[in-house]
Amino acid sequence: METIANLSGLVDEVKGKLSQHLPMLTDVAADIHANPEIRFTEVHAAKRLSKELESRGFSVERGFAGLETAFVGRWATSDADDDSPTIAIFCEYDALEGIGHACGHNIIAACGLGAGLLVKDALEAAPGTPAKVVVVGSPGEEGAAGKVPMIAGGVLDDIDLALMVHPTGEDQVNVSTLARVALDVSFKGRASHAAAAPELGRNALDAATLALNAIGLLRQQIPDGVRIHTIITDGGQAPNIIPEHTGLRAFVRAGDSDYLLSDIVPRVKKCIEGAAIATDCEATVEENTPPYLSLVSNPVLVEIADEAFRLLGRTPGEGGPVGSTDMGNVSQQVPSIHPMICLSPGLTPHTREFASAAGGDAAAKTIADGAVILAATAMAAFREPEIVTAAKEAFEKD
C-alpha cells in the first residue's frame, strides 16, 4: 500500500476547523472528568456527548443493545447511498472505581466526538465524496466489555472501518493488546469450630490457597507474555470458624485469543478444580464478563495514522502489548486501529497521577491531536476508497 499522497494536506484541512470545536471538546472532557461514572452508569457522559452530536447535525440513537448509556450518532453526506464507505469512530467514557478517570476515557470521548465533527466539516466543505460517519458511544470498557453486546446488537453491521485513540504515557500506533478472560471463583466448604472440632470442617480458604499455589506453579509451563493475576474477594468469615466459603477473582491474559481460550484458561480451571478435590470442597467458576479478544491493528490504517502522528510532531514508538481492550473484539470483526497517544510522558494509566493528568492542562493538546489524527485517517479513506479495499484485504489475510 502506497502511503497516501497528500496526508499532510489532509491534516491541515481537518486542523483548519479544529479551533471552532476545541473549547467545547476540552469542556466535554473536563465535564466527564469531573463527573466520573463507572461501567454502565455513564448517564451524564452519554447525555452530554449525544447532545453535542445532535446539536451539530448528527442523528443520535440513545441506548443500544439494551445498554442505556450506549449511543450511536450517524451523519452522512447527501449523496451517500448503501454502498458508500462507512467509518465508525468509537468513544469511551467510563471511569474506574475509586480513582476516577485514571484511564483517560474522558479524553477518548472528546477525541471521538471531535473527529466525527471534523470529518463532517471536511466533507461539507468539499462536496462530492459520498461518505457515512458513525460516532459510537461504547460504555463499560473497564471490566465489562460493553462493546461485545453492541457488536451482537449489530453496531458493526454496516461499518467498513473502525477507529479510536487512547491516551497513555507514550505515542504508539501499531498497538497490540492481550486477550483476557475473567474468572469468578467460589469455594464452598463446611464451617466448624476451628479449635474445638476442626476435623468436622472442610476449609474453603485452604482450597483458595491451594488454587493460588497451583496457579503459581503453572507459571513455569506457560509461554512468556501470558499473564495470570488474582485477588481474594472472600477470605473466610472469622479465624475461629473453619472458612465455609471463599472467593477469588482471576484475570487470565495472552496475546493469542484462541490459545488463551483453548489452552491456558482450561489449565487454570484445572488448578481450581484440583484444589477443591484436595480439600474436599466444591468449586464454582463463572465467567461473568465476555472475553476481551486481542487487538489486531490493521496495517493499512496503521501506516496512515502513523504518518499523521509524525505530521503533528509526534514520534510513535514500538511498545509491548498494553493490557486488554474490548476494541480487540471490534478489531476481529472489521479493520480497526486503536493507537495510543501520549498525554504525559512516562505516566501509566490506572494510577492517581494519570487521573490527575487526564483532567489537567495536557488534555487539550492530546484531544486536539487525537481528533485530528482520527479525522485525517477517516478522510484519507473517504477520499481514496482504495484504502478501504486495501484495509479489508489486509484484514482478510490476517
Query: Is the CB of 103 or the CB of 208 nearer to Zn ion?
Result: 103
- Gyration radius from the chain CA atoms: 23
Least distance to Zn ion, CB of residue 327, Å: 9
Query: E strands within 25-66?
Result: 59-64
Query: Is the CB of 121 or the CB of 142 nearer to Zn ion?
Result: 142
Least distance to Zn ion, CB of residue 75, Å: 26
* CA 321, 325, 329, 332 torsion-angle sign: negative
Q: Rounded distance, CA 122 to CA 333, Å?
A: 27
Query: Whose CB is nearest to Zn ion?
Result: 103
Query: Is the CB of 73 or the CB of 146 nearer to Zn ion?
Result: 146
Size of the site for Zn ion (CB under 5 A): 1
322 binds Zn ion (CB under 5 A): no
Least distance to Zn ion, CB of residue 190, Å: 40
Q: Rounded distance, CA 261 to CA 264, Å?
A: 6
Least distance to Zn ion, CB of residue 97, Å: 11
Q: Which of residues 29-88 bind Zn ion (CB under 5 A)?
A: none
Q: 194 to each of 190, 212, 218, 278, 374, how far by Cα in Å? A: 11, 22, 31, 19, 61
Query: Is the CB of 206 or the CB of 326 nearer to Zn ion?
Result: 326
Displacement of CA 373 from its chain's centroid (Å): 18
Joined together, the cell numbers standing for residue 203 give 476449609
Query: Is the CB of 4 or the CB of 151 nearer to Zn ion?
Result: 151
Joined together, the cell numbers standing for residue 101 give 478517570
Least distance to Zn ion, CB of residue 345, Å: 18
Least distance to Zn ion, CB of residue 325, Å: 7
Q: Which of residues 83-122 bind Zn ion (CB under 5 A)?
A: 103
Joined together, the cell numbers standing for residue 257 give 485469543
Contact at 8 Å (CB) between 169 and 377?
no
**Contact set with Zn ion (CB under 5 A):** 103
